[in-house]
Amino acid sequence: MSVDKATVARIAHLARIGVREEELEPLAVELSGILQWIEQLNEVNTDDVPPMASVHDKALRWRDDVITDGGKQGDIVANAPDGQNGFFAVPKVIE
């Protein structure tokens, strides 16, 4: 599939991208090359390739799914400009 200058201008208009007239032809050539490369990828036989295949068979390490409070409340509130009783203290905004 080849892209012409009019198609590039239309794509630029739809994408709200300002493209000068002298840039249309080089962009058309570049987009045509990209589309030809995609057409080459469509020719690759992937019938025997399982979905989400990887180049190596390593399993990710899993951690135990344990609910905790994080144990970091003191460290977090220590960074607050004003902390009271383990909470952030903020100025009153509604009277």
Instruction: Answer whether residue 21 is part of any domain.
Output: yes
Tokens in use for 51? 């979905």
Q: What residue numbers bound the domain in which 37 lies?
A: 5-42
Report whether pLDDT(53) > 70. Answer: no
Q: Is the pTM of this model over 0.85?
A: no
Instruction: Answer whether residue 23 is part of any domain.
Output: yes
Q: Residue 27, Cβ neighbours under 10 Å: how many?
A: 17
Average pLDDT value for residue range 26-32: 94
pLDDT given at position 56 = 75
pLDDT given at position 89 = 87
Q: How confident is the model at residue 73 (pLDDT cuts 50, 70, 90)?
A: confident
Report whether pLDDT(36) > 90. Answer: yes
Write phi, then psi, for 43 (nearest 5 degrees). -80, -10
Instruction: Answer whether residue 24 is part of any domain.
Output: yes
Which residue did the predictor score with more confidence, 23 or 69? 23
Instruction: Answer whether residue 54 is part of any domain.
Output: no
Number of domains the chain contains: 1
**Four-residue CA torsion sign, 66, 70, 85, 92:** negative
Instruction: Answer whether residue 12 is part of any domain.
Output: yes
